[in-house]
Every structure is written in C-alpha cells, then in structure tokens.
Amino acid sequence: MSTDSEYVRAMLRRIVDECGVPQAQLAEDAGVSYASIRSWLIGRRSPEPDSLRKLAEGLRTRAAKLEELAAELEADSS
C-alpha cells in the first residue's frame, strides 16, 4: 500500500467525499479518532499503514452492511 503523503491525502479526500457518511462516522467505523482523520486530510500528520488498513476495513464493513440492506429491500419489493 502506497503511503506517499500527497497520494494518501488525495485518496482520503476522495473517500470522505464519496463514502456518504460524516467523517466522525467514518472514524468510528475504522476505529480511529476523528482528529486523526482531520489531521491526515489537512496534511498535519500522515497515517500509519495500520491506520490505512483499519480505514479500508471500516469501509468494507459499511459497504457489506449496505449491500445486505439493498438485498433485503430488493427481496421485500418482489
């Protein structure tokens, strides 16, 4: 996983913009602090590779929950 700071900051900005949840929820899903995410976004700090993995896992978990809800909604609409 690349940890080049400009690339990571751009990817984090894209995640925040596209994931559809507030930054605080994103942080909670990943098990990292809101302050950490803010610091990463503004370039004050760079995330450790483990933090990036936690963030990825949090996104996957949320996506899986949304997928389950979508499937449930489809089943209920039949």
Q: Structurally, how many domains does the chain consist of?
A: 1
CA gap 35, 41 in Å, rounded = 10
Q: What is the pLDDT of residues 50-67, one digit of tens each?
A: 999 999 999 999 999 999
- Residue 19: give its domain's CATH number: 1.10.260.40
Split at pLDDT 50, 70, 90, the class of 3 is: low
Task: Please state, in angstroms and as integers, the Cα–Cα distance from residue 8 to each residue in 3, 12, 20, 64, following that order.
Answer: 6, 6, 19, 23
The whole-model pTM stands at 0.86
CA gap 11, 76 in Å, rounded = 36
Domain of 47, in residue numbers = 5-76
